[in-house]
Amino acid sequence: MTVLRRWRQPREVGLCDPQVNPHCPSPTGWPEDGLLRLLSFNVQVGINTQRYHHYLTRSWQHVLPHAGRTLNLQRIGDLLADFDLVALQEVDGGSLRSGYINQVEYLAQLGAFPYWYQQLNRNLGRLAQHSNGVLSRLRPTLLEDHPLPGPPGRGAIFLQLGEGEHALGVVVMHLALGARTRTRQLAYIRERVGQFRHLVLMGDMNTHAVDLLENSPLRDLDLLAPQVCATFPSWRPQRCLDHILLTPGLELGRVEVLSEPISDHLPVSVEIRLPRAPSSGKTPILNSSDIG
């Protein structure tokens, strides 16, 4: 029997199934070495911003298609192929500016990810489909779509990997710029993650780690912020806005801010060892029904 830890949710939350990539071989399940390679990346809808003045001179690319976007997405896809679970922010779900390409699905294909999910947070019809995304080599045992408090346009994806006591809870988010709204959003997330012993929060959080760990509603979770290097702007990093936060029970491996100025944010990567069941000493395995 599959045992799921349901996130505490209000009525508007959607319980979802991940999309399956038909071009990808069936996954083999939990990594044999127990290592999970995580990446969080704000891809700025495939726009390659390299200077502050590009926000003005390339602003039209947020509305209209651009031939260089496909090449830039190819570079992003090549980068993502080395990871097991990817959190994407500022992706387009298929509108005029992206050439009507769902960028989450497209990157899943480029990186050969079996599972993907697009969260549409601001629907501007043909002009823009503002979204978050998840790419995974493991099939989530639970996946939920949560709009976040505040003005429309921000959301979080809650997912679970594995089952029972050693399940891994993951929240993918893109938080607001304003401190007051961001606090409301973090309080919403905090209220729903307490049942997980092992937890990962990842995304563009628009504030520094000290603020998140010491001054936000997350402060009582005793989370670790293994990466505190600057991620924004990518061409001359000065602010640490992108994070992968972990509960202390997860064994930490390699931590890196990747020097890949493809977007206006640099991607953040963390390697963790998945929790082991104390009774067997083995890394938990997903049921066969959960990996195909």
Q: Kindly report, residue by residue over 190-209, the tens digit of the pLDDT.
A: 999 988 999 999 999 999 99
pLDDT exceeds cutoff 60 at 10: no
Question: Which amino acid makes up residue 124?
Answer: L
pLDDT for the residue 13: 57
pTM of the model: 0.87
pLDDT band at 135 (very low <50, low <70, confident <90, very high): very high
Q: Among 57-66, 105-114, 157-166, which is the least confidently predicted range?
A: 57-66
pLDDT exceeds cutoff 80 at 96: yes
Mention every residue, 6+ apart, whose C-beta is less than 8 A from residue 64: 96, 97
Mention every residue, 6+ apart, whose C-beta is less than 8 A from residue 56: none
For the stretch 109-125, pLDDT in tens is 999 999 999 999 999 88
Query: Which of the pair, 40 or 276, is modelled with greater confidence?
Result: 40
For the stretch 35-54, pLDDT in tens is 999 999 999 988 776 645 45
Q: What is the average per-residue pLDDT within 54-58?
A: 55
Domain residue spans of the chain: 32-275
Rounded distance between C-alpha atoms, residue 197 and residue 247, angstroms: 8
pLDDT exceeds cutoff 80 at 60: no
Domain 32-275 has CATH 3.60.10.10: yes
pLDDT for the residue 164: 85
Residue 35, number of CB atoms within 10 A of its CB: 15
